[in-house]
Amino acid sequence: MAHLFGVSGSRVSSVFTTWMFCLFHIFKGFIIWPSRELIKKFMPSSFLRTFPRTRAIIDCSEIFIQRPRNPSTNARTYSTYKSHNTVKFLVSITPTGAFNFISEVWGGNTSDRHITMHSGFLELVSPGDEIMADRGFTIRDLLTERKAYLTIPPFTRKCKWGKGRYLSVKEIRKTRQIANLRIHVERAIQRLKTFKLISQTIPWNMKSLIHPMVVVAAFFCNLQKPLVKKN
């Protein structure tokens, strides 16, 4: 861009940073936590048939970053799951697929539970809400404290008749139902990462811009057609 506009690289960096923070401060107010009444009004039929009290579907996502020079920072950001240095953040969507919460970013080796505890997400949860997630979110106790419920696939049990593990027919059915609905948060994250700003490896010196870039991308995702149709 510096070559294209005939200015210095530092000038391009300064303009980009200024406008990114400007857009962030404008658009972050549009990533809202809808009321329960609004959620019910637009609840897709696929949720109404199975998990009608669902308030949000959550998951964590990671973005590749360049390896930090500082050893302790390198350790905090190294993700064994991705085998790369990353930053990690919590996303939440409504049953229709709109982003309703984006957390700050954390080091790639931070647990899902820790991020959920300290991101401010739990403060949005109301008594009676159902939060859908995968098995990695060991947050049932945190939601129970708020009189809310965690919807995750059932865990397998040891067979009484010998080695191995199993699920009952009812649990298999529930696992499939949750998988068919929880996939929408994965689709939302895929949509989010179509923005090249956050789909490529980000330099460590741009770490303060990562959260604003994710929020701006989420805002534009919410302007697109709903991921999940009502009927």
* pLDDT tens column, 29-74: 999 999 999 999 999 999 999 999 999 999 999 999 999 999 999 9
Q: Is the pLDDT of residue 158 over 80?
A: no
- Specify whether 130 is located in the same domain as 173: yes
154/111 same-domain check = yes
Backbone angles phi, psi at 177, to 5 degrees: -60, -45
Same domain (yes/no): 114, 189: yes
* More confident call, 117 vs 12: 117
Q: Distance between CA 196 and CA 140 in Å, rounded? A: 35
DSSP-derived pairing of the beta strands 78-79 and 149-151: unpaired
Domain total of the chain: 2
If asked whether residues 61 and 7 sit together in one domain, one would say no
Cα 202 to Cα 189: distance, rounded to the nearest angstrom: 17
Clarify whether residues 65 and 122 are in a common domain: yes
Q: What is the DSSP letter of 105?
A: P
Residue 213 included in any domain: yes
Q: Domain range holding 2? A: 1-30
d(C-alpha 66, C-alpha 170), whole Å: 46
Is there a domain that residue 173 lies in?
A: yes
175 token code pair? 């696992």
